[in-house]
Amino acid sequence: MRVAMIGATGLIGRQLWPLLERRHDLLVLGRRPSGAVQEKLGAMADWPGLLAGHAVDVAISTLGTTRKAAGSWAAFEAVDRHAVLAFAAAARKAGGHQFLIVSSSGADAGSRNAYLRLKGEVEEAIAALGFERVDVLRPGLLLGQRSERRIGEGVGQLLSPLLNRLLVGSLDRYAGIDAGLVATAMAALVERREPGLFRHHNREIRALAA
């Protein structure tokens, strides 16, 4: 498969791209080196242009930041909405028939929470681009060693073993989950052919990674 990917230096992405590179023809687009064999670097606004001339079967986004890390809501939206959708549109134009994206548990275009609303709106916008198959992964709190400090998530990771015992049944989707499992699940989904829109929460992600 010819796979194009953004977000390869993040918590999930840096564990995903080596899995993809073993089985597929992978092209990584990014702002800084990831270590992938085929890689094109540039500003986020340049990524659609960097993809021009490449044929794509599957496109993947593990790109994401936080409002605090970005510095403002506008800067956050530039990453989590505009960069992702511009890449998705370019991948579709390049022939992509499948798109995989890491979203968030609780994502909902009708949510009162601005973060969850944005995530839901991005999911809907990608689904409207015409891909034959869209896989949306909605993990709970991501567990793993980040390259940057996120104090809130750090506290959440420390409390995760206790919280996970309480988050059972339908609440399991909000529990902590290892980023490596999400990466493994995404690599498995690249092999899927059934058309449609599929949303995968913690329980489905663990099953895919098994």
Q: How far is it, in rounded angstroms, from Cα 87 to Cα 85?
A: 5
> Is the confidence at residue 152, as pLDDT, over 70?
no
HSE toward the beta carbon, residue 56, CA cutoff 13 A? 30
Q: What type of residue sits at position 40?
A: K
Residue 101 and residue 135 in contact, taking contact as beta carbons nearer than 8 Å = yes
* Domain 2-209 falls under CATH 3.40.50.720: yes
Q: Are the CB atoms for 96 and 56 separated by under 8 Å?
A: yes
DSSP letter at 191 equals T
Residue 144, pLDDT score: 80
Q: Is the pLDDT of residue 170 over 90?
A: no
Rounded Cα distance between 123 and 115, Å, is 13
Q: Look up the pTM and report it.
A: 0.89
> What DSSP designation does 79 have?
I
Residue pLDDT, tens place only, 61-119: 999 999 999 999 999 999 999 999 999 999 999 999 999 999 999 999 999 999 999 99
pLDDT at 105: 93
pLDDT at residue 19 greater than cutoff 80: yes
Which pLDDT value is given to residue 175? 82
- Structural domain spans, the chain: 2-209
The answer to which of 26-30, 94-98, 161-165 has the lowest mean pLDDT is 161-165
Question: CB–CB of 53/32 below 8 Å?
Answer: no
Contacts of 109 (CB under 8 A, 6+ apart): 117, 120, 121, 123, 124
The residue written with tokens 């510095």 in the block is: 71
**Residues with catalytic annotation?**
115, 119
In degrees, rounded to 5, the angle at the alpha carbon of residue 63 between the alpha carbons of residues 57 and 64 is: 155
1-5, 79-83, 159-163, range with the lowest pLDDT:
159-163
What is the residue-averaged pLDDT of the chain? 91
pLDDT > 90? residue 135: yes
Q: Please check the confidence at residue 156 and state whether its pLDDT lies above 90.
A: no
| CB 152, CB 116: distance < 8 Å | no
Token pair 């709106």 is at which residue? 121
pLDDT band for position 158 (cuts 50, 70, 90): low
Rounded mean pLDDT of 189-205?
A: 95
What distances in angstroms separate CA 114 from CA 20, 71, 106, 107, 145, one per listed residue?
33, 16, 12, 10, 26
Q: What's the alpha-carbon Rg for the chain, to the nearest Å?
A: 16
Cβ neighbours, 10 Å, residue 104: 23
Nearest to 16 by CA among 190, 162, 186, 167: 186
Q: What percent of the chain is modeled with pLDDT above 90?
A: 83
